[in-house]
Structure 1
Amino acid sequence: MKMTFRWFGEGNDTIPLHYVKQIPGVEGVVWALHHMPAGEVWSVDDIAAAMKEMEQAGFHGEVVESVNVHEDIKLGLPTRDQYIANYKQTIAHLAQFGVKVICYNFMPVFDWMRTNLHEPLEDGSTALFFEYARVANNGDPMKLVEVINADPSLTMPGWEPERMQHLTAMFEAYRYVDEEQLFENARYFLQEIIPVAEQHGIRMAIHPDDPPWPVFQLPRIMTSQANIRRYLDLYDSPANALTLCSGSLGANPKNDIPAMIYQFADRIAFAHIRNVRVYENGDFIETSHRTQDGNVDITAIVEAYQAIGFTGYARPDHGRHIWDEQCRPGYGLYDRALGIMYLWGLWDAFEKKGQSTN
């Protein structure tokens, strides 16, 4: 397991890289060109500048999260071919700098959804929270946009204000796209980009939907073990890979994450490991990584990764906001560092146990 840490770039992150360097076992920075609109080509110069910054701090930049997919591709519009051509060019540019994995998603309009970015927990910390009824009962998505973008100094991926200005038009366009059509549009996308990814030694790692069910009547397809299998079968190649996110999928207690690890062992390129506490009414809140603090069996998940001999990339994903840290919601230093050490503790224990039984 290669441990990484998501970082939003100099001037766009509250955490300096020399702090991240002090977390044991972190080898790489998960990064992106967050100023680039979806559909634009990432230039060689911009990529080179980002890579230089990470490498000077002692990290590799082999994982990109995310190269966002333009809405016209998800909608299957005639204009998608130009955006796909741009995506192919970005893949080629990233390969020049040793990128091995590109994480992306195929979620309509919203990359992820929460209704409160600072919901209090019993211990005095706060965390990202999802109130099911606020979304399920035909709530107003623009009110959520205001919540997510309340602090304009820290951009929230997938909720960029320039994108959200077109929310009404995007909702109207998706009136004619159901789950089956979204799968078909994904198939078209994969048939175009996976051969390019194969050529350049890059694995395209699809991220599950967050949360794993339709929101505001928008279709979602990466929601379950069966749907993940279907997506990976759209183009049967190691380059058509998976970012297995325990927190996104874990919001639905029916999803068996360890079983997915065993089934998709050869297709998991990137692991997001985090915990959530799910309530009977469908609400959920993100918690510490400790297994007992939520409903996701982090212990069994790490055991499964150790058992399959996972050598891919992992990161602790979101964390709580603790010790009065002022940070991008979900992306502080302290709780993610604690999460990494919890994951390493489990990993080392299972590794030692395996050695003692051989």
Structure 2
Amino acid sequence: MADADVPEILDDGLRLIQADVSRALDLIGDETVQLVLTSPPYNLRKIYERDKAMSLEEYVAWLTPVVEKICKKVTAGGSVCWQVGNFVRDGEVFPLDYYFYGMFLSHGFKLRNRIIWKFNFGLHANKRLSGRYETLLWFTKSDEYVFNLDPIRVPQLYPGKRHSAKKGEEKAGKPSGNPLGKNPSDFWTFSADDCFSEYPIWEIPNVKANHPEQTIHPCQFPHELAERCVLAFSNAGDVVLDPFVGAGTSAIAAVKAGRNAIGVDRSADYVDLTRKRVKALRAGELELRQSDKEVRRPLPGEKVSTVPEEWSEAAE
């Protein structure tokens, strides 16, 4: 299925295709991908979108046939993890997961979870509440699918909890939890002690400011988010596809976990960035934020947690 006019990089389980997503998908065999893991453009006029400014209706029309092609690439027991935020027009919010939900269902896919990814920082709104979460839709192609719970379990909040001692019950008095940990549920955080155990939230720092994974890409998602999906919804040796690979986070998570990765991007700069980051990963030189590391909170007395004098003066 190779196309001599489409630049490709093949490197020991990593395949990078520089092309428009629709054309690139034609180069990938049907039913060969175990997991599609991606975050498509939100049509928010980011630097990689400015040459194709679209209305919401045009945006949906563009991605509808793309989703159709993607669905054909997934194996019978495969999954799609589709991470999106909101489209905002004249101050009105349009949740993009609403539009994609219908697209995937129309091709027979089944929604298993609508995962909430919470983060602390983002753009501040003036006439509505500031958005601090995005959604990840996990679809499967059939009722027989890969789901590896053990690699993504989180610490038990009450490890000493036992089944009630009712007479005649086989489990009476025995520990009620799983010794490997509990299911992280569909509301994610990466503060293992305080939040994973107490609240079912995926709270992963978005890649901003001093985040160790920050690159030239303005909207990359963190490795922790990708890693959890790769570990849960694929096995070693499987193929993981990101049709909008950007900074290469999904490819990095796949390679790191012993999967094969296919990344697609129409930008030569982002394809090269992905190649370089995967190369650094293999050399042990890529800096990644530790998974399950608690989100840092400022300590009392730190400058950033101290109320400015100007605020006190203004309140007088």
**Shorter chain as normaliser: what TM range?**
0.3 to 0.5
Per the normalisation by structure 2, the TM-score is 0.36
Looking at secondary structure, tell me which structure has more helix per residue. 1
Looking at secondary structure, tell me which structure has more strand per residue. 2
Which of structures 1 and 2 has the larger relative contact order (alpha carbons within 8 angstroms, sep 6+)?
2
Per the normalisation by structure 1, the TM-score is 0.33
